[in-house]
Amino acid sequence: MADLDKYRNCIRQLLTEYAQRASSNNEIEAQTIFDGEQDHYQLIYIGWQNRRRVFGPVMHFDINFD
């Protein structure tokens, strides 16, 4: 279980740091989504650019130990 917690923390840290650096456009927000129960982690962009809607995943991680 220690390895699993290590993976979770590393992914959270990576996505959080990337989201903070990616916020160069004031109209597009970088959002992190962490689902620790199902081990799904995602970074998305959401907002507007030149009157067009921006919404989409940038990075997505799943942890699966079957």
In this predicted model, what pLDDT tens digit does every residue of 9-40 receive, in sequence order?
A: 999 999 999 998 876 667 899 999 999 999 99
Side-chain-side CA neighbours of 56 within 13 Å: the count stands at 6
> Which of 41, 21, 46 minimizes the C-alpha distance to 31?
46
pLDDT at position 22: 73
DSSP H helices in 1-66: 2-21
pLDDT at position 21: 84
More reliable by pLDDT, 66 or 63: 63
Confidence of residue 64 (pLDDT cuts 50, 70, 90): confident
**Surface-to-core class of residue 11, CB atoms within 10 Å of its CB (0-12 exposed, 13-18 middle, 19+ buried):** buried
